[in-house]
Structure 1
Amino acid sequence: MASEFTARTAFYQGILRETNVNMPQFLQENSTLSILGQHAVDLHSTGLLLSSGTTEDQRNSSTCGNACLLNNRGTFRQDYGRWTCGCHKLDGSLEQCTQASTGNCNWILLACYSHEQFGEEIYWIPKLHHIHWNGQVVFQSDIHVIFYETPSYGGHHFSLHLWDSSERVKAPLKKPKWVDELHQKQPLVDLDKVILAINSAAAAKIFFERHVAPGRSFAQFSILCMFITFMWQVIAISTASLSTLFYVILQLLHSLLSYGSQSWIYVTSAKIFGSTWIITRIRCCQILYWPIFLQETGLRSLSCVEYAEKAALHKHSIWSSIALDVLLGNFIGLALLYNAESACMWIMKFANDITNKLLRLGCVWLMGVPAGFKLNTELAGVLGMISLNAIQIWSTLWGFVGFLSIYIIKGLAISGILFGMTIPAALIIDILLLSTLHVSSLHWLLSLIYSTQIQALAALWRLFRGRKWNPLRQRLDSYDYTVKQHVVGSLLFPLLLLLLPTTSVFYIFFSIVNTTISLICILIEVIISVIYATPSIKIFLWLVRQRRFPSGIWFEIVSCQSNLIDSSSENLQRNQSGEKSSILVSLLHSNFLSVGELVLPHYVNIFSGVSGSFVVKSIRGVLTGKRVTYRLGTALPSRLPWMFIPYREYWYRCYYSILGCSRT
């Protein structure tokens, strides 16, 4: 029996070496599976106790780990006072270690004599029988038994990392000394390594059972399985064919645009429709690259459940983003398409009200006595006539293209149905900026006059103070002006100062209108970024199975009892302090992310490229006469290089990507 057990142990050790190779690299360098001892359900059946220990030098002095059992048969005697338990007969490596001069080899024997029920689960509680520690039989040990559900892909896993690790509470000015000493101490257990080993337990079990029990046959399929396989084939063929059709169309359009990229029409349209061009390029790259992202990432990610989950979320991110965008585009596009005439009439009425009741009446009001302010009549008349003429010219030009508004609305609806909501949203930004070009032009002209007037007044004020601005050193230096310069400054300063209220009133009016247009464009830009940043696949999986998003661990202590084997061994169960050895049993649980904690980091990342002083700079720009920006600079998906592969190869990539999803 002993020789048979020793041979089987050697066989298991060979399997363990091969299993360790398939584990993550970090786990291979710090922790490997090894035979730790024996486990006995009763006195007539035993098995091997496997553990994910530490490195090779530390494994000889380690007696704890993540254990699993390999059923086998064996016997041992209960002579606790001497080394006659028979453990050295069941494993050749242990016998060799006991004969060595160092004797630095450990062996654990656990025995299960009772079972307890925690909830709906029934667990056998192992009790420590004895430990061979450096050649000595030791009974005085406290053990902690932790039960946990084996992580599985698509089920759950464990994670120590929270969704937001930043400190929300302001730290005190001076930390106590014991806090620094606590941070300097090394933890007794590397929890990151332990959690990684637990998440890799399922993969280790798969690799192990491939050698131990490979005899299962799946040659016979039911009719349901054959039907599901046939449906996956149909879905893969249809999706690959449709994607290849889009691929051909996109390649033809790209070739056509590349051929005319140097023409003035291409350059002008790229400047006018800049937002639409950027979003269209992103959407085209997503359509081209979705089968590349959906391809299998290899067996290395499957060695750890946590790695497999992250790889799956990454490879499903593109098509889920496209699906969400197209779903919103169809919802809004169909509604807009069925109500195109009503929407066209409402837009035309709204545009006429803005032009007549806001812009024209506003300019006329500013040419009089606005809010009781006495303005310069001549300057107000000139600025008002320029504004009214620009508004009239632009309204006349848009009147000729008014009949195209119904086709523009239908084009927006169709583009939303085919390509998603983001492309028509970007097109709305460009159309809005194009239709309000007269407002931005008038605002630019008035901001130029206003800023020049402010700069001239500042320079004249420095002249009276005997100061001059040094642009090289960015400071004010003393300067002796001539009498003629003082005379000219005295004549110009009151003139510019008295004309400033008139210029300021017109500038403030058009700044309010232009800022409103900018805010609308920024709002649409944020909506586009939110659509791209929304993790739709994560939200769907969270609704289906929240356990796939762990956030920290906690232990539920269910039992704490004396670890006595029988009354005859009570004297051996006492340690030097006279206390009895005990056993602590706990269940390992996970905390889970809420939907807000899951989505909020993605939305926060939208504004990662936005400067914190954006509002301050905008306000300062309005006060000093600088132009207001129409873009906030929110984060968008990275622009991928254009793909050029044969049509046949692209079809096969799409086909095998869909079939790969059926096997996961």
Structure 2
Amino acid sequence: MEVCYHRHSKRSRRFYSDDGPADSPVVDYLASYPSATLNQAILRLAQLAALLRGNQPYNVFFNTLWLILNDISLGLAFSSFLSENDINALLANRLEPCLIHTIHRLLNWLDSWPAGLKLNTELSRFYAHSLALLSHTFTHLVRLLVDHFQLTLTIASIVSHFGASFALAFFIDVVSLLTAHITISYALSRIVYRRTILAVRSLFNLFRGKRYNVLRHRTDNWEYDMDQLLLGTIVFTLLAFLAPTIFAYYALFAALRVAILLLFASLEILIAFLNHFPLFALVLRIKDPARIPGSMYFEVSTDDPQKPSLELKSQPLPLSVIFSQYIRLASFLATHYNPLRLLYQLFIGEYLAAMTCPSSLIQ
């Protein structure tokens, strides 16, 4: 028989609060620094500073220490892998064909009426030549990296000595640099597509005899002159002929942008697990659950039926609470990368940003 009396200890509040985890480093890991390597370095310095202060609970202290040691061990193994294998010969000659030539082939494919879709010839040629020139400009950067790819691998091997999380962060920065032309092409095509969508919406209001009121943020009835309706018809005709071409090039680079964001999200989740996985708490939960109490309860002792007594016992922290920050992370990811949300953003031409959190990195 148990008496329903529960009380969270101060130690348990380190893992949990009424509205979720008291400290959510997994979700808050994604800070707003432009460099993932710099972001990881700041986090590691914060972890080391917290260890040197020694004012943390023992479970948080040893969990951070274990994570740092495991991260360094994995980083040393990855550094050894880079040193013992000829990665340069495997990847160096594939960067330019993958990053530059593939883009050129896709642009030429769109410019040659793909699948019988007849695009506007002049606009399609302008798109293809302009974006191909932009990607060709980055060819010098890719060739510079190819010529010094062994140096890049050496830097990655040195960075890996600080931990596998540093190696992943360095890889994110390198990929961001190599795909900058794709990001710029996506941004330019998105702006044109977004303006087209807004123009079509305005023309739709024009033909319905309505106008958007910017002061009241609503759509009001409005009377248009014949000249305005005629001009709107001409503009709508132009947009109707140009919209398929604009959408085709926008869809191409939007798909590439989604693929890059999914790659970054996967790597950032791995880094978050390396930095914040509750390893020590999980080991204690399995080995000695009493050392991580989550609540207390009274149990009626039946050893002596003549003298019943209440025995105060500790209830260990449940696994759902230990991994509650990862439940929040999964919820955040499901919301940010919801397919319906992404499709809606793609349709209306909103910019697909990387996953970020409003909270700061260092608590």
**What is the TM-score with the length of structure 2 in the denominator?**
0.81
1:332 equivalenced with 2:78 (yes/no) = yes
* 1:380 corresponds to: 124
- CA 1:400 to 1:536, structure 2 compared with 1: closer, same or farther past 3 Å? same
- CA 1:318 to 1:332, structure 2 compared with 1: closer, same or farther past 3 Å? same
* 1:518 corresponds to: 261
1:600 equivalenced with 2:316 (yes/no) = no
- CA 1:545 to 1:637, structure 2 compared with 1: closer, same or farther past 3 Å? farther
Kept after mapping to 2: 8 A contact 1:610/1:633: no
Spell out, residue by residue over 1:560-602, the C-alpha distance to the aligned partner (whole angstroms, 9 max, x if none). Answer: 54xxxxxxxxxxxxxxxxxxxx3347877655456x4464123
* 1:621 corresponds to: 345
Q: 2:280 aligns with which of 511, 529, 537?
A: 537
- Match of 1:360, SS state, is helix
Distance 2:297 2:100 in 1: 64
* Residue 416 of structure 1: how far off its partner (Å): 1.6
Spell out, residue by residue over 1:163-186, the C-alpha distance to the aligned partner (whole angstroms, 9 max, x if none). Answer: 9899xxxxxxxxxxxxxxxxxxxx
* 1:209 corresponds to: none
- CA 1:318 to 1:635, structure 2 compared with 1: closer, same or farther past 3 Å? farther
Kept after mapping to 1: 8 A contact 2:100/2:136: no
- CA 1:432 to 1:165, structure 2 compared with 1: closer, same or farther past 3 Å? closer
* 2:177 corresponds to: 434
Instruction: Determine what percentage of the aligned residue pairs are the same residue.
Output: 21
* 1:214 corresponds to: none
Kept after mapping to 2: 8 A contact 1:425/1:524: yes
Q: 1:400 aligns with which of 124, 141, 144?
A: 144
1:638 equivalenced with 2:331 (yes/no) = no
* Residue 468 of structure 1: how far off its partner (Å): 0.9
Paired residues for 1:236-251 under 5 Å = none
- Match of 2:220, SS state, is strand
Distance 1:277 1:522 in 2: 17
* Residue 457 of structure 1: how far off its partner (Å): 1.4
Distance 1:272 1:601 in 2: 26
Distance 2:7 2:214 in 1: 55
Q: 1:322 aligns with which of 51, 61, 68?
A: 68
* 1:501 corresponds to: 244
Paired residues for 1:347-362 under 5 Å = 347-355=91-99, 358-362=102-106
Spell out, residue by residue over 1:323-357, the C-alpha distance to the aligned partner (whole angstroms, 9 max, x if none). Answer: 23222222322222322x22x33333543442366
Paired residues for 1:259-658 under 5 Å = 273-293=34-54, 311-339=57-85, 341-342=86-87, 344-355=88-99, 358-417=102-161, 419-550=162-293, 553=297, 555=299, 558-559=302-303, 561=305, 582-584=306-308, 592=316, 596-597=319-320, 599-606=322-329, 612=335, 615=338, 617-633=341-357, 637-638=361-362
Kept after mapping to 1: 8 A contact 2:99/2:179: no
Larger RCO (alpha carbons 8 Å, 6+ apart): 2
Code of the aligned partner of 1:490: T
- CA 1:389 to 1:424, structure 2 compared with 1: closer, same or farther past 3 Å? same
- CA 1:272 to 1:528, structure 2 compared with 1: closer, same or farther past 3 Å? closer
Distance 2:293 2:350 in 1: 49
* Residue 465 of structure 1: how far off its partner (Å): 1.3
- Match of 1:626, SS state, is coil
Code of the aligned partner of 1:347: L
- Match of 2:211, SS state, is strand
- CA 1:541 to 1:337, structure 2 compared with 1: closer, same or farther past 3 Å? farther
Distance 1:323 1:505 in 2: 49
- CA 1:484 to 1:388, structure 2 compared with 1: closer, same or farther past 3 Å? same
Distance 1:462 1:375 in 2: 27
- Match of 1:468, SS state, is strand
Distance 1:532 1:605 in 2: 16
* 2:21 corresponds to: none
Code of the aligned partner of 2:71: D
Kept after mapping to 2: 8 A contact 1:606/1:634: no
Structure label with greater radius of gyration: 1
Code of the aligned partner of 2:90: W
Which segments of 5 or more consecutive residues in structure 1 lack a partner in the other structure? 1-157, 167-270, 298-310, 562-581, 640-664
Kept after mapping to 1: 8 A contact 2:99/2:178: no
Spell out, residue by residue over 1:198-252, the C-alpha distance to the aligned partner (whole angstroms, 9 max, x if none). Answer: xxxxxxxxxxxxxxxxxxxxxxxxxxxxxxxxxxxxxxxxxxxxxxxxxxxxxxx
Kept after mapping to 2: 8 A contact 1:533/1:603: no
Code of the aligned partner of 1:354: C
* Residue 392 of structure 1: how far off its partner (Å): 2.3
Kept after mapping to 2: 8 A contact 1:440/1:514: yes
Kept after mapping to 2: 8 A contact 1:560/1:584: yes
**What is the TM-score with the length of structure 1 in the denominator?**
0.46
Distance 1:318 1:336 in 2: 27
Distance 1:388 1:627 in 2: 22
- CA 1:453 to 1:525, structure 2 compared with 1: closer, same or farther past 3 Å? same
- CA 1:557 to 1:353, structure 2 compared with 1: closer, same or farther past 3 Å? farther
* Residue 291 of structure 1: how far off its partner (Å): 1.7
* Residue 436 of structure 1: how far off its partner (Å): 0.6
Q: How many residues align?
A: 341
Distance 1:159 1:333 in 2: 49
Distance 1:332 1:597 in 2: 32
Code of the aligned partner of 2:58: A
- CA 1:277 to 1:323, structure 2 compared with 1: closer, same or farther past 3 Å? same
